[in-house]
Amino acid sequence: MRIFNRMTRVLILLFLFFSFTSTSEAFSSTSFTSYRDIPGVTDEEIEAIAALRGTREKFIFGMMPSTEAFRDTNGEIRGYTALLCEWLTELFGVIEIPFVPELYTWGGLLKGLESGEVDFTGSLTANDERRKIYYMTDPIAERMIYCFHIAGGPSISEIAASRPPRYAFLEGSTTINEVVSGLDDAPYELIFVRGLGSAYNVLKRGEADIFFAESTAAVVFDAYDDVASKHFFPPRFSPVSMSTRNPELAPVISVVQKALQSGAVGHLAELYAQGEIEYLRHSLFTRLTGEERDYIRDNPVISYVTQFNNYPMSFFNEKEKQWQGIAFDLLSEIEKLTGLTFQLAHGDELIRWPFLLAMVESGEAAFVTELIRTEERRGRFIWLDTTLATEYLTLASISERRGVRLNEVKNLTVGVVRNTAQTQAFQRWFPHHGKTVEYDDTRDAFEAMRRGDVDLVMTSTGNMLVMMNYLELTGYKANIVFDDSIQGSTFGFNVNETILRSIIDKALGLIDTRAITDEWKNRSFDYRYKLIEAQRPWLIGASGLLLCVLVLLFTLLQRKRHEGRVLEDLVNKRTAELSEQLELTIKLQQNLEAAMEAATAASRSKSVFLANMSHEIRTPMNAIMGITEILLNDDSVAPNTREALDKVYSSGELLLCIINDILDLSKIEAGKLELTWGEYDVASLINDVTTVNMVRIGSKPIEFELSVDENTPSTLYGDELRIRQILNNLLSNAFKYTESGVVRLSVYVEDTTLVLRVSDTGCGMTEEQLTTLFDAYTRFNVEANRMTEGAGLGMNITQNLVRLMGGEITVKSEPDIGTIFVVRLPSARGEQTKQTKISSGVLGGETVERLRKFRTNGAKQIRRARISFEPMPHGSVLVVDDVESNIYVVQGLLAPYKLSVDSVMSGFEAIDKIKSGKVYDVIFMDHMMPKLDGIETTKLIRAHGYTNPIVALTANALTGQSEIFLSNGFDAFISKPIDVRELNAALKRFVRG
């Protein structure tokens, strides 16, 4: 046992040793709270600095006006210099002398340092000559050297062709040394000016072509609209030090130097970055109008939308579960400058392009992060003046294909993506190309090209970045790039957001958009390498673990002989225990089988009971709804009576819906609910469902919005009845639990998945209520919703129907805000068990527009108005039913057709009619009749050779009726209460022929 314990300890130690890898310590900045805490500070320095206390009111930190030191709108000096002075004041706080920034001209600064008027500065670059005059630290900032010139003027090469260029510098500035070392050997003239104001004047008068200065000088030239700037190339930097000429202040310089050597340089870098942001904010604020400043104050949060698959501009990174791209980095920078907060109007929900565009056009969102300018969109949207990214159209191929010439394209098969600008361009350029294949997605087109289905794919350089950088799909290349097809991408705004557009345009003018854009264009997502790196420590650990296991196994084998006898005794003892457990298990099995048998019997009893109850309830319901239908079809009925009849009919339908829900739930629990598949018209389904549900609004102040993607297939394959049931349940709940606001229905297809999205601004649900939402017979917040109709079965049935179709249903809800349901019904080509796209036709804009313009007619009136009572005086019908009221209903519903109608009240009388030689175009046969039911009656009639149609009338809707009746001699069946549409269809089929 001691050997085993030792081996276990060794195993654990080896695993820990191999599992962890060393990491280098990251650099971190250090900020000291007191100069006395800085390593290396001497007692002499502490005493010398302490002696300064009371000698003056403040230390003057002199600077030239620059991006590091500028006056804000309140007249205060802000920027890096102000932040540095605050840090120095805190660092030397014990002497209670604040460091205060002041602004000087270049000449005034140098004179102030010499006279003692200025104590310190951060504008001097250290060199050997200056260190003889000044006490100086290592660099506290690194400034890039910039070239300033009058915009629109001739280039240096053009000037050099006629005369030597004239270069201007500040007098006494060391910038000249850095610049001259980077110039070529071509001749030039040097000009020196005393201040930045003078520099502009010599540029404007043409006395100088370029003024070289540190980047901080931009603050002066920002006031002039005609000055352009860029960094000097090759890049040169001008490091500046904290300096003084006063020997009395030398200990301060010495202490700051030791702070820099001990890590404070990192903290100063952070302050410099903070100061740059302050300057950019100030610069932007000076460019904003009063109206724009008011807009920022009154609209702190801006809603916008973005695409989830538009790399590199904007996309949702599924691997990292976050939004990324150029747009998000730019918006982050704009937030820093403006103080605005940008918020996605759709949260983390991935919304398709047509709906994003609709949100911007309606004003629900202020802008979308990328919108290509087209003539069709002018007047509907506005755009930034700033172009954020550019791309070209291209014909892509696999890497192995040789370069294709333009005149060869017409003979090659080209894959195109539906409804894209690239496809529209290809159709313009190659109008007679007859070998194109359309795809729903760029990835599908590239995969088809890899298989050899197409030779080329029409796309863009942006999409090529998606394939190769983001998705890491290799083996493709841009075969033909259309250089003249440049497309600029930028933000697109709602037409009323002119002020916001101007603010963002001005902010982008201060942001290095090119650097952000280039970074994303050159980024790669090598997740495989990252995965290997992450797994490496564990692979090493696993190797060590395996070694230890082998050693452990060897030890255990050595002990096997000794433990054999002990093990044998244990086996014998355990065998006896198992024998006893086996006997107990057999008894439990017998009890379980008995319980299962009882449960099966109970389920059968439940089914029989529900079947009987269905029949007993539906029979009087048939009379109530049928007679009401007959009276409503009578034009002589008075309006007030018609209104009352409408309410009776509506109540009957509600009761019938509850009965159907109970029966559907019983079918689901018994595993007997089956789907009926077939083709259905999508526009018709949407129109019927929305029309029926509009009546649910009643007098409530509710607006109903319908959004349908025009690219939705016009025909789908599925169980239309059950899809209507799903959509009806979702919409009816939305209207029931919404007292005011908006109910929205969106319909679109993702790839080949039908998506139904229903949202409302109703009472919403809590997290606890959502957990029981799909339970049977559950209605949440019963006290608040006591008057709301329903039995609490709809959502349970909806969930089960969606699962039967292989789909999914999700829900998001917040109390007092509203609820969003999303149902996805996937396709499976070749299978008739799910939604399947069966036609290449789509709804199109015209059909979608017609659907949006639906009218709010009463659902029942629309339902009846769709029935065309075509007279059939030549036809004859026999009605068989043991209930007199049912016969009355059928005869009344048949009256508009002017048929010859006979009726009998038993199966025996029906058989006598046939035996007497009577022949009818159709016999309507009740199912459940005493003594001789409808099925037995039909079998006997068929036995006499009668072949004309017989249609079953049944009030039993518990189990699937189609197979039962069709296998017993019936030609069709109609459920009670009788739906006039089904009756009309039967007459047209069997009487009119």
Q: Which of the listed ranges 65-74, 521-530, 570-579, 951-960 does the model predict with the highest average pLDDT?
A: 65-74
Q: What is the DSSP letter of 992?
A: I
Q: Find tokens 């800085």 and name the residue.
A: 38
List 390's β-bridge partners, or say none.
488
Which pairs with CB-CB distance under 8 Å and at least 24 residues apart come from 438-445? 439/415, 440/751, 440/752, 441/417, 441/751, 442/417, 442/466, 442/467, 443/467, 443/471, 445/415, 445/416, 445/417
Residue with structure tokens 């600077």? 63
Cα–Cα distance, 813 to 765 (Å, whole number): 6
CA 738 to chain centre: 26
Residue whose token pair is 């999914």: 808
The C-alpha angle with vertex 256 and arms to 254 and 261, in degrees rounded to 5, equals: 95
Interior angle at CA 81, CA 76 and CA 83, nearest 5: 80
> How far is C-alpha 204 from the geometric centre of its chain's CA atoms?
52
pLDDT of residue 632: 72
pTM equals 0.46
Helix or strand run (H / E) with residue 475: none
**Which residue intervals of 116-217 are DSSP H helices?**
128-131, 156-160, 175-182, 196-204
Could you give the count of Cα atoms lying within 13 Å of 657 in the half-sphere of its Cβ?
Answer: 18
**Residue 709 confidence (pLDDT) above 80:** yes
Contact 509, 384 (CB under 8 A): no
Burial 378-404 (b: 16+ CB within 10 A, else e): eeebbbbebebbebbbbbbbbeeeeeb
Give the pLDDT band of residue 130 (cuts 50, 70, 90).
very high
**pLDDT above 90: residue 79:** yes
Q: Measured between alpha carbons, how far is 321 from 313 in angstroms, rounded to an integer?
A: 17
**How far from chain centre, in Å, is Cα 506?**
29
Given CA atoms 548, 554, 558, 562 in this order, what sign does their dihedral have? positive
Q: Of 705, 716, 681, which is closest to residue 825 (Cα–Cα)?
A: 716
Burial 709-746 (b: 16+ CB within 10 A, else e): bebbbbbbbbbbebbebbbbbbbbbbbbbbeeeebbbb
Radius of gyration of the chain (CA): 42
Instruction: Please check whether residue 304 is in contact with residue 367, taking contact to mean a CB–CB distance below 8 angstroms.
Output: yes
Q: What are phi and psi of 610, to 5 degrees?
A: -65, -35
Q: Please, what sign has the CA dihedral across residues 604, 610, 611, 616?
A: positive
Measure the CA–CA gap between 808 and 803, rounded to whole angstroms.
Answer: 6
Angle at the Cα of 485 (from 483 to 487), degrees rounded to 5?
A: 120
Q: In this prediction, what percent of the chain has a pLDDT beyond 70? A: 78
Confidence of residue 176 (pLDDT cuts 50, 70, 90): confident
Instruction: Tell me the C-alpha distance between 75 and 83, whole Å.
Output: 16
**pLDDT value, residue 12:** 39
Please say whether the beta carbons of 193 and 199 come within 8 A.
yes
Which of 396-400, 837-841, 843-847 has the highest average model confidence (pLDDT)?
396-400
Distance CA(759)–CA(748), nearest Å, equals: 15
693 alpha-carbon distance from chain centroid: 29
Comparing 50-54, 312-316, 774-778, which segment has the lowest mean pLDDT?
774-778
Judged by average pLDDT, the poorest of 43-47, 619-623, 758-762 is 619-623
* Residues in CB range of 604: below 8 A, 6 or more apart: none
Burial class (CB in 10 A: 0-12, 13-18, 19+), 336: middle
pLDDT of 837 higher than 50: no
Query: What is the per-residue pLDDT for 90?
Result: 94
Where does the pLDDT of residue 601 fall: very low under 50, low under 70, confident under 90, or very high at 90 and above? low
Give the span between the Cα atoms of 644 and 646, in whole angstroms. 5
Q: Where are the alpha helices (DSSP H) in 805-855?
A: 844-852
Average pLDDT over residues 744-748: 92
For residue range 556-569, list pLDDT tens digits in order. Answer: 666 665 666 666 66
Phi and psi at 31, nearest 5°, equal -125, 120
876 - beta bridge partners? 900
- Say whether 129 sits in a helix, a strand or coil: helix
The residue to which tokens 């003018």 are assigned:
509
C-alpha–C-alpha distance, residues 899 and 451, integer Å: 63
- From edge to edge, which strands make up the β-sheet containing 922-926? 900-904, 876-880, 922-926, 950-954, 972-975
When pLDDT is averaged across residues 38-44 and rounded to a whole number, the result is 93
Alpha helices, H only, 140-264: 156-160, 175-182, 196-204, 218-221, 250-259
For residue 13, the model assigns a pLDDT of: 37
Residue 15 and residue 549: Cα distance in Å, rounded? 11
Arithmetic mean of pLDDT, 162-179: 87
- For the cut 70, the answer to whether the pLDDT of residue 28 exceeds it is no
